[in-house]
Structure 1
Amino acid sequence: MSLKDHLLEFRRRLMVSAFALVAGAVIGWIYYEPVYDHLTSPFEQYKATNPDAIVSLNFGNATAAFSQQLTIAIFVGVIVSSPIWLYQFWAFVVPGLTRKEKRISLAFIGATVPLFLVGCWFAYMTLPKALTILFGFTPEEGSNIQQASDYFKFVTRFILAFGAAWLLPVFLVALNAIGVLPGRTLLKAWRPAVLLIFVAAAIITPTPDPFTMFLLAGPLVVLYFGAVGVSLLLDRRRKDADPDWMKVDDESASPLDTTSSRLDTTASSLGDDTASPL
């Protein structure tokens, strides 16, 4: 494909993803009330365990409630439409792959969507604990009346960051499938990879406690080693599929086909007037 065709293809994929996002946002707008109740449930849990604490959300101006409903609707749209826009991303990458790698990419799609959704769910389950720790730093004589926009920005980014982080093994295996990142390289680099995972977890999770950081970093480490195992398996299958002459060192001679050699010897031993054996 030419550069123009690639740009047109990218625009088409982007438009499909945008339409799916808008449709998901409409669903989020319709079901705003239950979504709002679920996202603010950590507030209610904290109030139940700390009845003397003053914790509430504040909508600072007349348009704040409308803007917040629109923001939450878009957030729901991102999650609901994730199977479509993740597929569109893979569909844009697939034309650059071989036929075998295209078949493998279908397995990536089957793994990407569940991992993203499970990561979002895992973040939602750990959110009450994270907020309890953060609210715990409020002095006894103080209150924690927050702007609704700030609170929901924190919550939505927290959930989406977990969902995106859980896609790490998919991208690692994808790089291995196209021959960019061998499995042995991933295995040798496990120590700096684990360190980077914990550093990224400390940045993504806004809580200062190690508990929340381990909640994100622990599953990511397990998923990393899972990606290493899949990459090593793909490398082995790719190596077994190579012809014999590809497995010879550059300084060694490749094995000869003895059958062809015997036929050539027999043909050369016959005279010009003699018919060769069929």
Structure 2
Amino acid sequence: MSNDADSATDSSLLDHLVELRSRLMRAIAGVVLVLLGLLPFANRLYGQLAQPLLDKLPEGAHLIAVEVASPFFAPLKLALFIAVVTTMPWLLYQLWAFVAPGLYRREKRLAMPLLVSAVLLFYIGCAFAFFLVLPAVFGFLTSVTPEGVAMMTDIHAYLNFVLVIFLAFGLSFELPVALVILSLLGWVTPTQLREWRGYAIVGMFVLAAVITPPDVISQLMLAIPMYLLYEAGIVAARLLVSKPQDDRGGDEADRPRP
């Protein structure tokens, strides 16, 4: 009897590993396909990404390539980043398809809206950074350039700087989702989040000062949206946590995977 149980456990584990490998291969294939489609337009995409800085530079100024291979690797790196961000719904779907069979009904109902919200908020954060934050940042940086100094930024350094800004704002905009998840897990309560509001505001401004350039405008453009998202997270957590939970026994019967 014990041998049969061990054999069934080994078979189940092997099935999970095979499914995990299949999901990973599909996720990677999706990224590769999008990347291959973007490669012919990589230089054009980089030109559009550089436009917020070029608009602030004096007429005739341009970016430079310090390293020999930078003109090749910088657009390629940007294309890979865009491919990953573009296929994020596909990547999350593969993750969802793998873990969904082992979730309770209530967990399934909550997980999908949270995943969709997380993707949308990340996209909104990146768009906010590109259309509002970067022009303000580069306007400040070009205005404080010393007299007689030509601002000629390396294309790889510029790309790294912009990608950090994108990730900082994209991840910061995930704050409501993070608060809801913490509340659902029981680690915090909406009441505690309201009580900690003052500490959270201080932390937001400290974080904004660390991850943004040293100008007040860009710091405010990160700290203020984070505060508004913090308040939105409190409201969402209060609405979801206050809902009566389904009977656990009924959920157990609906769980197909032990």
Whether these two folds match at TM > 0.5 is: yes
RMSD: 2.7
* Aligned equivalent of 1:139, options 139, 146, 154: 146
Q: TM-score, normalised by structure 2?
A: 0.80
Question: How far apart are residue 68 of structure 1 and its match?
Answer: 1.3
- 1:33 and 1:143 map into 2 onto residues whose CA distance is 24
* Aligned equivalent of 2:243, options 234, 237, 240: 237
Say if 1:242 and 1:79 are closer, same or farther in 2 by CA, change over 3 A: closer
Question: How far apart are residue 110 of structure 1 and its match?
Answer: 2.3
Structure 1 SS opposite 2:152? strand
Identify unmatched segments of 5+ residues in structure 1: 244-278
- 1:203 and 1:10 map into 2 onto residues whose CA distance is 38
> Which residue is equivalent to 1:98?
104
Is the aligned partner of 1:172 residue 2:179?
yes
> Which residue is equivalent to 2:48?
38
Is the aligned partner of 1:128 residue 2:135?
yes
- 2:188 and 2:102 map into 1 onto residues whose CA distance is 16
Name the larger-Rg structure. 1
- 2:238 and 2:74 map into 1 onto residues whose CA distance is 46
Greater helix fraction, Structure 1 or Structure 2: 2
Q: TM-score, normalised by structure 1?
A: 0.74
Moved more, 158-167 or 27-36: 27-36
Identify unmatched segments of 5+ residues in structure 2: 1-8, 249-258
Is the aligned partner of 1:115 residue 2:125?
no
- 1:123 and 1:13 map into 2 onto residues whose CA distance is 32
Identity, % of aligned positions: 32
Say if 1:184 and 1:93 are closer, same or farther in 2 by CA, change over 3 A: farther
Question: How far apart are residue 228 of structure 1 and its match?
Answer: 0.8
The question of whether the paired residues in 2 share the 8 Å contact of 1:169 and 1:223 is answered with yes
Say if 1:72 and 1:146 are closer, same or farther in 2 by CA, change over 3 A: same
> Which residue is equivalent to 1:151?
158
Question: How far apart are residue 175 of structure 1 and its match?
Answer: 2.5
Structure 2 SS opposite 1:145? coil
- 2:102 and 2:195 map into 1 onto residues whose CA distance is 28
Say if 1:210 and 1:11 are closer, same or farther in 2 by CA, change over 3 A: farther
The question of whether the paired residues in 1 share the 8 Å contact of 2:182 and 2:188 is answered with yes
Question: How far apart are residue 102 of structure 1 and its match?
Answer: 1.1
Q: How many residues align?
A: 237
> Which residue is equivalent to 2:230?
224
User: Structure with the greater relative contact order (CA < 8 A, sep ≥ 6): 1 or 2?
Assistant: 2
The question of whether the paired residues in 2 share the 8 Å contact of 1:119 and 1:166 is answered with yes
